Structure formats: C-alpha cells, structure tokens
Amino acid sequence: MDMQAIISQMVVLFIMIAIGFLSGKIKLLAEEGVKALSKAILYVSLPCTILNSVMGDDLSITTGETLYFVLISLIAVLIPLIIAAPAIRLLGGDKKKHGMYRYLAVFGNVANMGFPVTMAILGAASAFYVAVFNIPYILVCYSIGVIMVSGKTEKFDPKIFLNPSLIAGFVVVLIVATGFKAPAIISDVTRVVGGITTPGAMLVIGASLSRVPLKTTLSDWRLYPVILFKLLIMPVIIWLILKQFVTKELILNVLVVLSAMASGAMATIFAIEYGGDEHVASSGVCLTTLLSGITIPLVVYVLLV
C-alpha cells in the first residue's frame, strides 16, 4: 500500500480548501457564488462522477456478486447510523446542531475523497467497489442524511428520491446488471463534467469556512468526539463486525478504508441547500479532512497491513 500516494492525495485536497478559503476572504467566491457552485455540484457534476465510475471499464464481476456487495455496503452504512444517533445525544448542548453532528459522524467523503484515496491504497480494482458502495450510501444520505441536516423529521418528502445523484446510483446498478457499454461520447462527457466535483466541493468548503471565525471552528468542543468517532472508532467497529462474514479481502479493505474517510463534503452543500448549520458543517469537514491525513494511514497500517 502506497502511503506516499495517500499523503499526496491529502495534500492536494488541503490545497484546494485553502484556495477556496482565500477566494472567500477576498470575496472572489461570495455567498451567492458559493450557493450557485453548490447547486452545480449537487445536481450536475456529482451524478456524472457516479455514472463515469462504471463506464468504459471491463468489469469482471457478476450481477450476483454486485448485489451481494450492495447488501454488505448497506450494512456498512447503517452500522454508524445506528450507533451515532444515541451517542450524539450524550453530548448535550444545542439540539438544533445534533443533526449536523450526526451527519458528520455517519457520512464520509466516499465519492470526492473515496475514489482517489481508495485507489491509491488498494489499487485500480477498488474503483468499481467504491462506485457500487455509493448506491446504498446515496439512498441513505439523500433521505435520512437530508432529514438530519434540515431537522425536518415530521414529514418525509418522497421527492427526495428524484435528485440526480440518486437516479445516477440506480443507473449504475442497471449498467452493471445489463453489461451496457455507453458510447465513448457519453463516457467522455461524464468524465469531464464529473471532474468538477472534487475541486468544486473543496472550494465550497474553503469559501464557507472563510466566513467562520477561527475561534468558532476550534472552540466547539463537541466536534472533537464526533471527529474521534468518525475517523478512528467507526473504522475499527466496521472492521470488527464485517470481518466475521466478509471473506474477500479486497471487499473488506474497501469498506474499512471508506469508513475512515473524512466527513462528507456534501455536509456544507446540504447545509446551504436545506437550511442546516453551515458553520458546524464547514468546521467539521475541514477538521476531519485535515486530521484524516494522519488517521487514514494509521487505520490502514493497524487494521489492514
């Protein structure tokens, strides 16, 4: 496993956040611009990223194996969800922020960071599994995750399932099940447009963070147990549970590495879109991204090497 490649990927992400931070400070990315960029990522580039992950590749996995991995991935998504809900209540404080704390503890950056980091650690063969993992992840994230962020638990809106990223996830399943090979032009378009996702999301995080006083970012002590849970405790729990019945080493390793990702960059974008706590979101994503440069190599070394 190439630790140097892992660290290199982290440095690149940090530089992108720094550029976004500077752009926000000098008003190059003003509040309205950040909102517009957030929408473009959420509704255009992220779906393209998901679709492109299974285009143009010679996938050597059966439909049955794919469905099995979807089921195992769903379990891996639900485990932190089940544990985090009661754990966050113990933190006390402003209950309006609890939803964002839960989101940060449960949902990792499995797309923007997941693809490059997992491939750097486990090789190109892991890309397909990361793509398939995003199917149940998106189902849960765009339903329960949005409810967490918005705090609107009184009524579930089925329209949430009409968002482009979730539709892209279902299309990925169909592509794998049917063996469909997209024309080169479609593959090229989704690759180019999807390339906006990672730098765009990092710019949004940095620009949003530029509006949060440093004292506010570092003084919210409740973020630190959330970060500890997300980056270290949860990967160990996932490893302990899944190794009991997941026999294929690559599958287990992919799920453990993905569970160690920093909190999802979509936290800030969801906060902007659905009225969540943007300051907590940006602070949590930034701190977990910074610290994951240390914790991901540590998790890999202790659990997988």
**Percent with pLDDT over 90 in the chain:** 24
The domain locations on the chain are 3-304
CA angle 245, 249, 254 (to 5 degrees): 95
pLDDT digits (tens, 9 = 90+) for 4-54: 777 777 778 788 888 998 999 998 988 888 888 988 988 898 888 878 877
Residue that wins the pLDDT comparison between 150 and 24: 24
What would the two tokens of residue 184 be? 């080169």
* Averaged pLDDT, 142-164: 72
What would the two tokens of residue 52 be? 């492109």
Note the pTM of the prediction, 2 decimals: 0.81
Cα–Cα dist 18/21, whole Å: 5
Cα–Cα dist 252/118, whole Å: 12
**Amino acid at residue number 175:** I
> Which residues does 284 contact at the CB level (< 8 Å), separation at least 6?
100, 101, 104, 223, 226, 227, 263, 267
* Averaged pLDDT, 54-82: 82
Listed ranges 174-188, 221-235, 270-284; the one with the highest mean pLDDT: 221-235
Answer for the pair 284, 267: CB distance below 8 angstroms, yes or no.
yes
- pLDDT band at residue 154, thresholds of 50, 70 and 90? very low
Q: What are the b/e assignments for 49-87, b being 16+ CB within 10 Å?
A: bbbbbbbeeeeeeeeeebeebbebbbebbebbbebbeeb
The CATH classification number of 3-304 equals 1.20.1530.20
Q: What is the pLDDT of residue 224?
A: 92
What is the pLDDT of the chain when averaged over all its residues?
A: 83
